[in-house]
Amino acid sequence: MTTRKRNKPSLPESDSDKTECEAAKRLEQCQSDMNTVGHNDLLHHHLSPYFSMRDSPRLTYSFFNQPCVELAKAFLGKVLVRKLTDGTELRGKIVETEAYLGGEDKASHSAGGKRTERNTAMFMKPGTIYVYPIYGIYLCMNISSQGEGAAVLLRSLEPLSGQDVMRGLRAAKRKPGAKSLKDKELCNGPSKLCQALDIRRSFDRRDLATDVEVWLEMDPEKEAIVDAGEVVMAPRIGVDSHREWATKPLRFYLRGHPCVSVLNKDAERRMDSQSDTERTVC
C-alpha cells in the first residue's frame, strides 16, 4: 500500500493519515507472518474474531510452536477455557503437565515413530488437541508441540470460575451419594479435569489456537512466565515399566500448589539442596 504525499508536512497528521499508516504496518506484518506460518494459519490468526481484538489474552500458534519440554513448562500458569453450549465459560489455571518427546520417548504413544489412527494428533501442527481414552471410560487431554509425535499432557488445573458447573459434571461420573468435592479436588488429575471441563473425545485433532469451544489464555493477574524456582521437575506418573524413561524428570508442577495431583518430595528436596548450594557459592 502507498500513502498520499502531504503538501504541508509541518501540519499534524489527520485521523485518516494515521489509519493509513496503521493499515500499512499491519499489511507489512501480515506479509512477514506469511513467511513463517502457512496461509491457512495466517487467515485464522488475522480473521478469527478472537484475534481481531487488540490485547486479546488468547494464545496463538506462535505460543504452541516450541519444543515439547519448553511448552510443558510454558503451560504452567496459563488458563484453559471451556465454553459450553449455553455460553458458560469454565476456567482453570494449569498447575501440572507432563512432556512426551515423540519417537525417542519409550513412554510416549508415538514411541519409535509409530503413527496410528488414535495418535494422529501428536503428528499434527503444534497446538493440536490429542484426546485419548484410558481404561475404556476416562479421557486425557494433550497438546502437540514441536517435534515429530511430541505432545504435552495436561495433568492438573486450579479451578478459577464455574466451579459449581464443574462439580456437577464430575458428580455425573461418580457413584450416587458420593461426598461433594472440594474445589481443589475438581481438576487434580488428567481425567478429572476432562470431566470437570466436559472435554470430549470429539475434541481430538482440534486446533487449540482457533477452536471456539476450548482455548488457552494468559492469566491477566500473573506474570507471563512462571519463575523457575517455583517449578518442580519430577518423573512422570504411571510409566514405571518404561525403564530409563520412567525416571526422567519430564513432569512439571507448581511447587506448593494444592491442586497438584501427586507431590514428589524427593524432587522438592533436591531443589532445596541445589538452592542451598547456589547460595553458598554466591
Rounded Cα gap, residues 154 and 149, in angstroms: 16
**pLDDT at position 145, please?**
98
Q: Is 175 helix (H, G, I), strand (E, B) or coil?
A: coil
- Residue 226 has a pLDDT of 85
Phi-psi category of residue 124: left, alpha or beta, with phi > 0 → left and psi -120 to 50 → alpha: beta
pTM of the model: 0.78
Taking CA atoms, 16 is separated from 4, 23, 28, 140, in Å, by 11, 10, 18, 51
Beta-carbon contacts of residue 67 (< 8 Å; ≥ 6 apart): 145, 146, 147, 150
Residue 69 burial (CB count, 10 A): 19
Cell of 119: 495418535
Digit-coded pLDDT (tens) for 96-143: 999 999 999 999 999 999 999 999 999 999 999 999 999 889 999 999
pLDDT digits (tens, 9 = 90+) for 210-269: 999 999 999 877 766 788 889 999 999 999 999 999 999 999 999 999 999 999 999 999
Predicted pLDDT of residue 282: 58
pLDDT of 9-63, one tens digit each? 443 444 444 444 444 444 455 444 434 444 344 333 333 333 333 456 999 999 9
Distance CA 200, CA 143 (A): 14
User: Which residues does 215 contact at the CB level (< 8 Å), separation at least 6?
Assistant: 50, 58, 59, 80, 81, 208, 209
pLDDT tier for residue 273 given thresholds of 50, 70 and 90: confident
Q: What is the pLDDT of residue 219?
A: 87
pLDDT of residue 2: 39
* Range name among 18-27, 90-99, 200-209 with the lowest pLDDT average: 18-27
3-state percent breakdown (helix, strand, coil) of the chain, nearest 5: 35, 20, 45
Q: Which three cell numbers stand for residue 7?
A: 503538501
Q: Which residue has the higher pLDDT, 281 or 123?
A: 123
Q: Which domains does the chain have, with CATH numbers?
A: 21-55 (no CATH), 57-226 (3.10.300.10)
Kindly give the residue spans of alpha helices, DSSP state H, lying in the chain.
15-34, 39-47, 61-64, 68-75, 163-171, 190-196, 265-281
